[in-house]
Amino acid sequence: MKQPAFVLLVLASLPATASAGLHYSGEQFAELPSRLRGFLVDHRSLRAAGLERPGNLPVSPLREVYLAAAESLEKLTKTRALTADETADLGAVNVRLGKLNAALAVLTPAARKNPEHFRLAANLGTAFELSGDLARAAESLEEAVRLAPEKQREFETWHLKLVRLRLKEGRAANAPVAVDDLFGVKYDGDVKKLPENAVAVVQQLMLWLPADGRLLWQLGELANVHGDIPTAAAILDGCVTEFALSAPDLRKRRQLFRAAADELAKKPDHDAHKISFKGKSARPLLKAFDESTLPVVKANMPNVLPWPVLAATTTDAKGRPVFLKYLEQLDGKTVTLTGFMQPLRDELAVTNFLLLEYPVGCWFCETPEATGLLSVELKAGKATDLKKTLVKITGTLTLNRTDPETYWFSITDARVGEAD
């Protein structure tokens, strides 16, 4: 198997976070809620990891990570019996890969043999849920709630409530006409009626169940309640175009949000863009790099620059950036990466702009971290139309080590192309 460019590692030095529902020791989540745009990037990655691509189409990098983990654990079964923790991992990885029969085959007997093991109960409940057996999912999640450590019990309880709501709906849950009534309120714009951690709850459920379009709809409603109308409109667009949800109320809300977002875009004043939601992290998935797995830097051809390499930049005691050795090797070399264009001025044809990993709704409310910004300058005398879709940038990378008034990363002599 091709070695993935990056791997998810167990970060023992990081504080424990709520990560119940689906437990894999190779995953670590940041504190929730995450900023909505960053969350959606990782949510999409988890969803892509569960898809098996046909033919010779490349699989997602995250799927490669899970495939490698599953292969390693399967090989271990040839030499000895897996421990309960290892079995929980194998079941979780198979769930991530969409291999639910394989997950149930290992988790069901292991949970019977280890009835007091929290991760086995939680993972088995999620596997039953995704396979459509909501009754057995509820039984397993009841055990997970009973066995859960105190810090994780709340999220397990919300997960159990979700399953019970859908179990009560019966067959109607397969063609939903409304969001799940998790919080017992109507989305009428009153934030005070919602639990304080409502966004964190829905995001956690979405991380466990990334292919669940109904939860995405709920996140869109929460984004609207908190005043992030452009993101709410984009989320409901995704519910229709990517998840094929067809509820009349969803389509009506989508049109309403889109019209409101278009009107908001015409207003220059920042007061119209106030968002009450504040994320506790930029994005939910914490990634750690094994630099030895990154491709060798080449001087005579473009080098792919993954965004997580930039995100791994830290600062020293004096606030100066500290780059990965791999990124240092790319300094002055030709690189290529994909992202979204952010104009520096109000113009359609641009000669320079910022490149972002993911688009933002309101720049004042959602300014990316320093590691999520690249200054891009096109070749002399060249200009390009501003695009709202994902683009591919190729040019010379320069790292800024000393000037606090400019961006840490810049690309010059750049050209803009379509993303692969």
For residue 131, the model assigns a pLDDT of 96
For residue 419, the model assigns a pLDDT of 78
- Euclidean distance between CA atoms 114 and 107, whole angstroms: 10
Higher-pLDDT residue of 64, 407: 407
Q: Alpha-carbon torsion 393, 399, 404, 406, what sign?
A: negative
In this predicted structure, which of 37-46, 396-405, 406-415 has the lowest mean pLDDT? 37-46
Is 80 exceeded by the pLDDT of residue 11? Answer: no
| Mean pLDDT of the chain, nearest integer | 87
Contact in structure between 104 and 120 (CB atoms under 8 Å): no
In this predicted structure, which of 153-167, 237-251, 365-379 has the lowest mean pLDDT? 365-379
For residue 150, the model assigns a pLDDT of 92
- pTM (2 d.p.): 0.77
pLDDT above 70 as % of the chain: 88
In this predicted structure, which of 65-69, 101-105, 175-179, 290-294 has the lowest mean pLDDT? 290-294
For residue 367, the model assigns a pLDDT of 67
Average pLDDT over residues 183-190: 82
SS3 322: strand
In this predicted structure, which of 61-75, 204-218, 352-366 has the lowest mean pLDDT? 352-366
Going by pLDDT thresholds of 50, 70 and 90, the confidence category of residue 157 is: very high
Contact in structure between 238 and 216 (CB atoms under 8 Å): yes
Is 70 exceeded by the pLDDT of residue 269? Answer: no
For residue 5, the model assigns a pLDDT of 38
For residue 4, the model assigns a pLDDT of 38
394 strand-pairing partners: 336, 415
Within 13 A of 403's CA, how many CA atoms are on the CB side?
A: 9
Is 80 exceeded by the pLDDT of residue 413? Answer: yes
For residue 168, the model assigns a pLDDT of 96
pLDDT above 90 as % of the chain: 55
Q: Verify cis geometry, omega within 30 degrees of 0, for the bond prior to 306.
A: no
Phi and psi at 348, nearest 5°, equal -85, -40
Q: Which CATH class is domain 302-418?
A: mainly beta
Average pLDDT over residues 325-334: 95
For residue 57, the model assigns a pLDDT of 63
Higher-pLDDT residue of 10, 78: 78
For residue 93, the model assigns a pLDDT of 97
Is 60 exceeded by the pLDDT of residue 2? Answer: no
CATH number of this structure's domain 1-288, picked from the four choices 1.25.40.10, 3.30.930.10, 3.10.310.40, 1.10.268.10: 1.25.40.10
Average pLDDT over residues 236-243: 92
Where in the chain are the domains?
1-288, 302-418
